[in-house]
Amino acid sequence: MSYYLTTAISYPNGKPHIGHAYEAISADVMARFKRAQGEDVYFQTGTDEHGLKMAQTARELGKTPAELASEMSQLFIDMCDTLGVTYDRFIRTTDEDHHNASKAIWQAMEANGDLYLGRYEGWYSVRDEAFYDEKELTQGEGGEKLSPEGTPVEWTVEETWFFKLSAYQQPLLDHIAANPDFIQPDSRRNEVMRFIEGGLRDLSVSRTSFDWGVQVPGSPDHVMYVWVDALTNYITGVGYPDGGATWNRYWPADVHLIGKDIIRFHAVYWPAFLMSAGIALPKQVYAHGHLLGEGGVKMSKSLGNVVDPQVMVERYGVDALRYFLLREVTYGQDGAVGEEALVTRVNAELANSFGNLAQRTLSMIHKNCDGVIPAAGNLSEDKALLDDVTTSSTEKLPAAFDRWAFSQGIEAWMNAVYACNAYVDAMAPWALKKTDPDRMAEVLGTLAAALKPLAQAILPVVPTGAQSILDQLGQGEGQAIDKPTPAFPRLELAAEDGE
Ligand code: ME8
């Protein structure tokens, strides 16, 4: 079966932060997990390079928007490489095929009679690249008007093309009601339905006050509203508008993975554009939560608590960061992350439990069994352990990952690791060495047999360490092994201030 998974495409107006890493890692874990299950995966990520925010940032830095976009986009590509993110395409909205696709969807919406010229007068947030109704605004501490996301808004008056979003109010509600999985988690679906029921107004979809964007076909003074072209990236990447084999194979997408702040664009505007253009809707929009700084405060440049994923990887390694982010926070909810929590979690679970299990099993085999992996035992406790490990690794973890419940899946897997460690302690193979070497060999063989499914199950999350264990196990029973090397070293908390 084919499985098309996308992430949001990030604004490259600054360096990638830990929130970007979180989304890329979780999508990558899903992509690796689905591939391991035999699915034909297409995984796309990229950068969202047009719009006023990019144009303004470039001006402040004395660069052209194209220069800024290219420089910064490279940092997002580098981040993916550092984190082991196995995307199939990294799309940039400045790519030529993307301009073609954006023009094509525009023309399809126009042909359907959904675009008309008018004048927009209302509020706009450059930071969110979003139009807001007066009734949605809140007041800041100084009495200034703020968007629902807490960002500044400005009064905007402009000649613009409008999209007849109001015509899609009922079709959208019908679609959401008929497809309960379309918006996940459930709490997000309720939020979107309330927003739609509140009444949809036609949407301004072009801008005339700047020119950094995709030109509107037939209206050289207009560039498309950045979200029109940004959302279109999802179909550009699989061959719209030409169609063909890739298109037939992967569209509609299985999941658009996004953060909770951009649900409205993905679950209201995007399906309406697609309906208008006569294109099938994605099967699911899944909104993850946001990572917060230590103490649960929002990360922001002004607070100086923005976590740099590159620094985390330099300090603690890729596996540790990937494991921590998926394990620590219940997926779909917000969660606080910090270095102390990372070190505690990774040391307790990866280093002391799983890593140590692998290391002591392989060391004992190397020293005491002529360096060859023995056969597993047949006693009831041996079979019970292997049953437990198999169920956790091939049923519980996959069932949880299938519904984006990463932490729960890893927890089920961890319980099987704990069971293995309890088995080692109860069987005490070091004591059997003297009293019953045959039984010692069975115990070590049972543990080696348990390690394989455990390592395979966790491979999408910690690809480097888990692969190292699988490599060291080789063929399993009968395999001659080398002196083992630890797959998950213990971490030390890095000194303050990045020393
Ligand atoms: O929104 N924790 O780009 P972006 C977790 N270009 N995720 C976070 C986060 C945090 N603290 N902060 C941001 C855009 N994100 C648009 C998307 S898609 C057609 C266009 C997530 O760079 C955020 O929720 O502001 C979004 O999914 C992604 O990072 C990119 O955010």
49 and 156 within one domain:
yes
Residue with tokens 């979180």: 22
List CB contacts of 352: < 8 A, sequence separation 6 or more.
Answer: 490
Q: How many domains does the chain divide into?
A: 2
251 and 159 within one domain:
yes
For the Cβ of 25 lying below 6 angstroms from any atom of ligand 1, the answer is: no
Q: How far, in Å, from the CA of 99 to the mean position of ligand 1?
A: 22
Q: Are 354 and 417 in contact (CB under 8 A)?
A: yes
Residue with tokens 């440049």: 301
- Position 497 scores a pLDDT of 56
- Position 81 scores a pLDDT of 98
**Does 190 fall in a domain?**
yes
Helix (H, G, I), strand (E, B) or coil at 43: strand
For the Cβ of 14 lying below 6 angstroms from any atom of ligand 1, the answer is: no
Nearest alpha carbon, ligand 1 atom 23: 259
For the Cβ of 228 lying below 6 angstroms from any atom of ligand 1, the answer is: no
Give the C-alpha distances (Å, rounded to integers) separating 497 from 179, 300, 304, 311, 485.
49, 17, 12, 12, 32
- Position 498 scores a pLDDT of 47
Residue 473 has which token pair? 């196990």
Q: Which of 232, 222, 269, 272 is nearest to 253 (CA)?
A: 232
Residue with tokens 């990229």: 46
Helix (H, G, I), strand (E, B) or coil at 133: coil
266 and 343 within one domain:
no
Rg (CA), the chain: 26
- Position 189 scores a pLDDT of 97
72 and 213 within one domain:
yes
From 290, 298, 308, give the residue whose CB has the most ligand 1 atoms within 8 Å, as the site to mutate: 290
Q: Please, which residues bridge with residue 288 across strands? A: 259
383 and 279 within one domain:
no
Taking the C-alpha atoms of residue 245 and residue 250, their distance in angstroms, rounded to an integer, is 9
244 and 389 within one domain:
no
Nearest alpha carbon, ligand 1 atom 18: 8
Q: What are the backbone dihedrals phi and psi of residue 474, each rounded to the nearest 5 degrees, phi first?
A: 55, -130
Q: How far, in Å, from the CA of 201 to the mean position of ligand 1?
A: 25
Quick one: angle between helices 18-36 and 309-316, nearest 10? 70
For the Cβ of 189 lying below 6 angstroms from any atom of ligand 1, the answer is: no
Taking the C-alpha atoms of residue 405 and residue 410, their distance in angstroms, rounded to an integer, is 9
86 and 8 within one domain:
yes
Taking the C-alpha atoms of residue 348 and residue 21, their distance in angstroms, rounded to an integer, is 23
For the Cβ of 149 lying below 6 angstroms from any atom of ligand 1, the answer is: no
Strand (E) or helix (H) holding 418: helix 406-427
**Does 310 fall in a domain?**
no
- Position 304 scores a pLDDT of 79
Q: Which of 248, 274, 260 is nearest to 149 (CA)?
A: 260
347 and 278 within one domain:
no
Q: Please, which residues bridge with residue 223 across strands? A: 207, 215
**Does 409 fall in a domain?**
yes
Q: Are 23 and 8 in contact (CB under 8 A)?
A: yes
Q: Are 49 and 57 in contact (CB under 8 A)?
A: no
For the Cβ of 299 lying below 6 angstroms from any atom of ligand 1, the answer is: yes
344 and 283 within one domain:
no
Q: Are 184 and 285 in contact (CB under 8 A)?
A: yes
CATH number at residue 390: 1.10.730.10
User: For residue 273, what are the domain limits?
Assistant: 2-288
For the Cβ of 11 lying below 6 angstroms from any atom of ligand 1, the answer is: yes
For the Cβ of 252 lying below 6 angstroms from any atom of ligand 1, the answer is: no
Q: Which of 430, 438, 336 is nearest to 379 (CA)?
A: 438
Looking at 223, 255, 288, the residue that finishes a domain is 288
Describe the strand order of the beta sheet including 154-163 as a list of residue ranges: 130-132, 115-125, 154-163, 203-204
Q: Are 50 and 58 in contact (CB under 8 A)?
A: no
CATH number at residue 60: 3.40.50.620
Strand extents, DSSP E, 280-368: 285-288, 291-292, 335-336
List CB contacts of 323: < 8 A, sequence separation 6 or more.
Answer: 345, 346, 349, 350, 410, 461, 462
344 and 284 within one domain:
no
Q: What are the backbone dihedrals phi and psi of residue 307, each rounded to the nearest 5 degrees, phi first?
A: -90, 130
Average pLDDT for consecutive 10-residue bins of the chain (499 residues)? 98 95 98 98 98 96 97 98 98 98 98 97 95 94 93 95 98 98 97 97 96 97 98 98 97 98 98 98 98 86 83 97 98 95 98 98 97 98 98 98 98 98 98 97 98 98 98 97 97 75
Helix (H, G, I), strand (E, B) or coil at 472: helix
**Does 313 fall in a domain?**
no
Looking at 288, 312, 347, the residue that finishes a domain is 288
217 and 107 within one domain:
yes
Q: Are 253 and 231 in contact (CB under 8 A)?
A: no
Q: How far, in Å, from the CA of 20 to the mean position of ligand 1?
A: 6
Taking the C-alpha atoms of residue 442 and residue 175, their distance in angstroms, rounded to an integer, is 57
Question: Distance from first CA to last CA of the chain, Å, rounded?
Answer: 49
**Does 329 fall in a domain?**
no
- What is the Cα 300 distance to its own chain's centre? 20
Taking the C-alpha atoms of residue 10 and residue 16, their distance in angstroms, rounded to an integer, is 8
343 and 257 within one domain:
no
**Does 197 fall in a domain?**
yes
